Chain A
């Protein structure tokens, strides 16, 4: 499986706290049996209201690979359609002040690292890529740093999730399945599994 040790590319700033998954992908686009095509629908309503001025539509951010957000990004619904739509638009990593928990887990499960940085660092990076959108940003999961030109700041990612990225074990099914005997042993130990259901 693909190891994720660093992500390099241009970055896209998306300002604001508490951006929920209904905004990332409105519920009407959840009427689907595959994730194909969701990249076009990402932030559909916000983009329509911004009339071409939404960061995902601005020409200078086309082809960006790193999304830079503020606090509690991805709160609300557990829909994996949200990170899927962001990823299918072209984003490979997200830097932010903080992430909602289910969204974070969904990103890890599809190999998209979400790393946090201090609010001043995030604001500085957002300002930098607003004024110089062509800047190459390097997000390094080994040294835990984000770099943009001469600017650099520390980043953080929980150890378990970071190891899954570095080792390429973010798609956990195989690893979980390799413990099937222990799974069965745990099942046998739990009284309630024998009672009902």
Chain B
């Protein structure tokens, strides 16, 4: 049983009661909602005649369904428009802050809460979206919930939960050139498996994470759920505090000093006890790309697609399914595989530092013929900042489309979709069958830098090779 970790401390501070079932009633400090998983929750409240208990602790935005080309209302898609209107009405009826399109604050829910300083160390954060684990980058305990649980948070500001175990995942050392946060988390998931984290919170520790920016840390925690861990977190440090200071909703003045002392007190103790631990060496991590239909089916870009006999028994059936679905031969290289669509964006890699790095690599190059490549900023603020820096022009000159903010082709609930058997190089988080909008479409997950390399060459390319020969 873990003891003295940030997870234990935050859990204890937010424990309201122990329920008759033995589960904990946990207070949720910040509740984020969006248009897809909230309408049924509000309907359930209405049916029961229940109000929202603390409307000031819930913040809403719209991200999943919004088109990234024309955002004029009403939307061309009547169902999307209906969802949009439901969210507008529910927020107005219950006095919930709503960052609508063109508010200057709209964007992917896991991008806007951190950029506005809403996400802070020591909070509990819930949202009807599995990538809520992102917020753990700040030392918050943050996790995804379903719609009935959204109802519970709206009505009671609490959830009934069983406490998780804590696994410490240490990565030490400096990453090699061309290796990014995305590669680190894909490498971890590839090693521990997509269900390795079930029942655990992942604490990411070690010098590699200490050297990362907040945006890189968000990429790491974002994909904890892809390793089965409902939440992942990193202890807050000076990088965290520097990021937060001065942001709209961050504490100010005397409250800032009080906050700093409180945040520091929440860090995992040096002698904290963990339920499990794993250690990685940053030097072992290469640019990583997925070859299959789960985020755990990853490989270094310069390796060969694994042969079934090299995989654990329990992984062979899903590997066979993956070879067939992806139309890949075990034992063949992934480099040189022709791609059709290149997507940069999502709550994993749609932040300003992602776009800066992508633009740096794209500059002076052009997207290969026949490739559809597009960049979707994570929020209105990210878009505005990118345009202020001229990144949009670099992308457009290089042949990328420059879009409006939203979740876009990560899950393809808006008009951005793969067609038929198209193969996508994607900076998003899931390569499930049919994930990007075509029932037979295929996805290769990789860092934004690797997506740019794929766009320029028209095929899966080791970004380090591109750097040497073409930059």
Contact = CB atoms under 8 A, between A and B. Distances in A.
Interface in A146-197: 158-161, 163-164, 167, 169, 171-173, 175-177, 179-180, 182-183, 186-187, 189-197
Interface residues of B, number: 91
Contacts, number: 232
Contacts of A105: 145-146, 149, 161
B118 A197 contact: yes
A72 interface: yes
Interface string A15-32: 011101011001110111
A14 to B, nearest CB: 13
Interface string B38-62: 0110010000101001101101000
Contacts of A159: 21-22
A100 B162 CA distance: 14
B228 A190 contact: no
A53 interface: no
B79 A177 contact: no
B401 to A, nearest CB: 21
A35 B40 CA distance: 7
B21 A161 contact: yes
A169 B230 CA distance: 23
Nearest to A79: B37
B198 A78 contact: no
A5 B88 CA distance: 41
A10 B360 CA distance: 59
A20 B228 CA distance: 12
Interface in A74-108: 75-81, 83, 98-102, 105-106
A162 B65 CA distance: 36
Contact of A76 (B123, B130, B437): B130
Contacts of B370: none
Contacts of A102: 130, 143-146, 225, 230
A57 interface: no
23 contacts: A16-B318, A22-B411, A22-B432, A22-B435, A30-B36, A46-B433, A49-B440, A71-B195, A76-B130, A76-B430, A98-B198, A101-B228, A102-B146, A106-B147, A109-B146, A109-B149, A171-B148, A176-B152, A177-B50, A182-B16, A183-B25, A186-B27, A192-B262
Interface of B: 13-17, 19-23, 25, 27, 29-30, 36-37, 39-40, 43, 48, 50, 53-54, 56-57, 59, 64-65, 77, 79-80, 82-83, 86, 117-118, 120, 122-123, 128-130, 132, 143-149, 151-152, 155-162, 194-195, 198-199, 225, 228, 230, 249-252, 255, 258-259, 262, 294, 314, 317-318, 321, 411-413, 430, 432-435, 437, 439-440
